[in-house]
Every structure is written in structure tokens, then in C-alpha cells.
Structure 1
Amino acid sequence: MLKEFGPNIWTVDGPVVTAAAGFRYPTRMAVIRLVGGDLVLWSPTALTDDLRTSIENLGTVRHLVPPNSLHHTFLGEWQRSYPDAKVYAPPGLRETRQDIRFDTDFGDAQIAAWAGEIDHAIIWGNRIISEVVLFHRDSGTTIFTDLIQQLPPGWFTGWRALVARLDLMTAEQPEVPRKFQAAFTNRPAARAALAQVLAWPTKQVIMAHGPLIHTDGQAFLKRVFRWLVG
């Protein structure tokens, strides 16, 4: 179900998916409506008839955005349903999803189709993942995927609960999981990208695997990345 998050931005909570080693994660999509009525779908989740109807009532699906090389499970079904939509490749995904037609690759240059409405930054320097972070100007919303997480107590059980606790996935506050912290081997590159993100006038934050942050978004991000940027 679509939930309004701010001016011209909505969230959709999708089904739980199972990743490596049996770890289960909730899924979340963001829908952004551009000035002309075109829609940007970030991290598309499972496509259902009801969701299709709700989204088409908002505007025209023109842009499909998988934000990193891990969030692509449902991308193919969206491309088949909206073949005219442009699909953007984050670093590393084009090589693993050769069944997807990618129209352009994310780089450091901003996307002309939504210039002035959405900014993006690629968090470079991580051995596991290079995440594309979006900033929606109209709502003051910064959108993260896997680099910030907080799953509720009891989400994992058994040995997975122990791993999740040690990894900070179930910490008392949203955090960068320790596996991603350790994977930042090029910290100057990461700091340069994060400087761009932290300069955005963030009011709200969306993350794929954690609570929605409605206030003091810039202060929230500075706290989350304090270990990296000081």
C-alpha cells in the first residue's frame, strides 16, 4: 500500500525476502513524482495488481532505480510491465543481472531527467557495495538502502540473532552495520561522497531496512556516520 511520506513522495512496504545464509529482510520502495507527472521508483518491490493501480493513479512510471547491487529482486517484473521506463544501473549490478536492459549507468554526474528535483551521490570506497543515495528536494528526503539499518528486536532468531546483534543490525538506534564499516577500505573516497550527502538540507530519511525518520534528518545522518567522518 502506498503511504504518503511528504510532498510528491510515497513509500511502499513490500514482502520479506530471504538473502544469503537465510537472513530475512523487509523490503521498501519509494515513489517520487516529478513536476511533469513522471514517476521515479526507487528499489522496486514486488509488483501486485493493487500496487500497479495505485501507482498509475499518481503518474507515469518513467524511471526504475535499483540503488545498489543487492536490491534488484523484483526489477525484472517492473521492466516487463513498463518496458518504456528507463532503468539505471548502480555500480556492480550490470554484470550480475545480464537479463535486465539497463539504459544508463549511475556515475557522479547528476541525472538530466530529474535535475533540480533529485540529487544523487554514490558512496564509493566500500569493498562490498557502492550505494546510490538520493535526495528529493521537494520533501527534503534523503534515501538510503543498506548502509543504514535497524531491524526490530526478535526479527532474527538463533545464531542469526547473535550475528545481527554483533553486526549492529538490531542496535538500539539505526547504524551502519559493522560488516559495511569494515569494508570501507578507501575512506577518503567514502568521506568525499558523504560530505556531499551531509551537505544536503535533509529533513527526513528513508531506509530500506529500518524506521522512517521524519525529523532532524541531517543531525540523524551525522550521528550515524560519526565513526567515519568524525
Structure 2
Amino acid sequence: MPTQTDSSTLQSMSDGIWTASGDVITAAAGFHYPTRMIVKRLDDDRLWVWSPVALNEALKRELDALGRVAHIVAPNSLHHLSFSDWQCAFPTARLHGAPGMAALLPDLEFDSELTDTADPAWAGQIDQVVVRCNAITTEVVFFHRTSAAVIFTDLIQHLPDTWYSGWRRWVARWDRMIGPEPAVPRKFRLAFRDRKQARTAIDCIRAWPAKTVLFAHGEPVEEDAQAFLTRAFAWLR
């Protein structure tokens, strides 16, 4: 089970979107990862929180100042470490999980399972596609219409070349976690059991008029986003 340390501050992007860099988490075999959460103020002024990082008093105060946290989104089964704390801090918020998460994590109280159809609370503002048939995790990818930002979780990653040392650095290079630009890690590529179904989902994502690509582990892609997505998933063709 990954472990995590201490905390973060909201940074405004644009169009009612904020990000917060969270703790560096350590997973199996000592691989550690930076983390990022995203907050979107919906049209009803309530807050949509994607992949929340560790919660502390400072972050909670900032969120309370922005609005009421109404929706907490678990985009895949690998991003849930802080959810029990968030449910305690925001008891009226609804927890939305990727397919299969409710059965996998019975201690959490999920209110809905994410599908290819946006929840009525954010329909018309945020679109979504479920990328299925991956042995590691099922991931839900989102598109924020106003900012034209596509939001991935683990299907795209990009860590600095010096992030790891020793044998972990060589593994990370082989896996494409580090490299010249963000990429789909090799382990996720190999884990797809039905590439045809994966292509259908990725084609839907590539049809979005993207200007920015965000992901949990790495810095955003802010130029030529659609061309980048074509390169990132060329291995699926």
C-alpha cells in the first residue's frame, strides 16, 4: 500500500479551475510519484474535486473559501488514499468512483459509479470517457469544456529525468515514465486486454477540442495538445 507525507496549496489556472500539488507518495518497490488534484467550480458554484490529495487544515480553508465541496471524484482505483479523510471533512459531498471501485473499497461510501455519461450535476460542463479493459486499472478521462483541458490520471505520465536514481531510473526509462515528453507508461500499454475497445475510447478523447492536457504525475501539456494526444496513443493504431 502506498504511503504519503504532507500537503499543498491551491493554484488558479483559468475559467474556474484550480490545481494543488500534493504529497510525494511512495508505492511498491520504492517508486515515488508527485501528485496533483484539480478543483472545478461548477455553474451552481459548488466544487468538483478530482483525485484529491492529502487534506490538511490550510487546504480545507481554501476550499471552503471557494465554495461548497459537492462532488469528490475517484478517477481510477489507484487514487483513493485520502478519500476517507475527505468524506469525514465534507460529509454532504457525493463520492463518484470509476467502475469497480465500490466493490474494491467497501470501506468507502460511494454515491455513484462513473460511466461515459456525465453526472447531471456537471453535464454540459465536463465530459467523460471510461477507458476499460486494462488489467491495472479502469480509468475515467475528463474534458473540461470551458478551458478545453483533458484530464488524465495515470494513463499519461512524465517525471523529470533525475526523479529516480539507480535501477529505478532505468526501469522508469524503459516504462516511459521519464522521457522526452509525456507518454503512456509501457506497463499500461501491455495491460490492455482489448485494444479495439481501448481505441474506441481514445478516439472519443481525441475528438475533444483539447488545448491542454493535465495528468496527476507530471506537468501539463499546454501547446499543440491534440497533436500530442495523437503521438501519445499512436502505439494503439
TM range (shorter): over 0.9
Counting strand residues as a fraction of each chain, which structure ranks higher? Answer: 1
Secondary structure of residue in 1 paired with 2:236: helix
Of residues 44, 60, 69 in structure 1, which corresponds to 2:52?
44
Q: Deviations over 1:149-180 (max 9, x none)?
A: 11101211222111111101111111100011
After alignment, is 107-116 or 80-89 more displaced? 107-116
Distance 2:226 2:67 in 1: 30
> How far apart, in 2, do the equivalents of 1:57 and 1:219 lie?
37
Determine the structure 1 residue equivalent to 2:212. 204
**2:133 pairs with 1:133:** no
Bigger shift: residues 217-226 or 28-37: 217-226
User: Is the Cα–Cα contact under 8 Å of residues 99 and 138 in structure 2 kept in the other structure?
Assistant: yes
Q: 15, 19, 24: which is aligned to 2:27? A: 19
1:5 matched to 2:13? The reply is: yes
Structure 2: where are the runs of 5+ without partners?
A: 1-8
Cα offsets for 1:183-223 (capped at 9, x unmatched): 11201110111111111111111111111122322222111
Q: Across the two proteins, how many residue pairs are aligned to each other?
A: 229
User: In percent, how many aligned pairs have the same letter?
Assistant: 48
CA contact (8 A) 2:117 2:127 kept: no
Cα separation, 2, equivalents of 1:214 and 1:3: 16
User: Aligned residue for 2:161?
Assistant: 153
TM-score, normalising length from structure 1? 0.96
Show structure 1 runs of 5+ residues with no match: none
In the alignment, does 2:177 pair up with 1:169? yes
Counterpart residue number, 1:215: 223
In 1, distance between residues paired with 2:40 and 2:228?
22
| SS state at 2:152 partner | strand
Counterpart for residue 100 of structure 2: 92
Alignment pair present for 1:31 and 2:39: yes
- Report whether the alignment pairs 1:76 with 2:77: no
TM-score by length of 2: 0.94
Q: Which residue of 2 aligns with 1:182?
A: 190
Aligned Cα root-mean-square deviation (Å): 1.0
Q: Distance in 1 between matches of 2:213 and 2:101?
A: 24
Q: Does 1:118 align with 2:132?
A: no
**Quick one: distance in 1 between partners of 2:191 and 2:127?**
25
Match of 2:13, SS? Answer: strand
Cα deviations by residue, 1:10-63 (Å, 9 ceiling, x for unpaired): 110001011112110111000011011011000000111111111111111000
- Whole-angstrom CA distance in 1 between matches of 2:145 and 2:188: 27
